[in-house]
Amino acid sequence: MIKIEIDWDAIEYKSVESSIIESCAYDKNTCSMIIKFKGADVLGNVSKYLYCGVPPSVHEKFIRSESKGSHLNAQFKAYPYIKLS
C-alpha cells in the first residue's frame, strides 16, 4: 500500500498542448504527478489519475514531449497509479 500526503490546496495544474490531456500537476516532494484528461463522462466527471514515484526527469520529458498521450502510454506504465475521479 502506498501512502502519499499531498497538499491538495497547493496543487497547481499546468495546461498542456494535447488532444486528450487537459493539464497536469507535479509535486516534487512526493514525486507524484496528476494527469487530468479532456472531456467528461455522462455525469460530468473529468478523469484524473495520480501517478506515484515519477522522478522529476520523467516529468520534464513528459512536458517537453511532442505527443503527451503517446509519451504517457509509453513511459508511465512502470509507475503505480490510481484514478482520482
Q: Averaged in consecutive runs of 10 residues, what is the pLDDT profile of the chain (85 residues)? A: 64 90 91 90 81 94 94 92 86
Gap between the Cα atoms of 65 and 69, Å rounded: 9
Listed residue (26, 13, 23, 70) closest to 52, CA to CA: 26
- Return phi, psi of residue 22, to 5°: -85, -50
Output the pTM of the full model.
Answer: 0.82
pLDDT at residue 1, rounded to an integer: 58
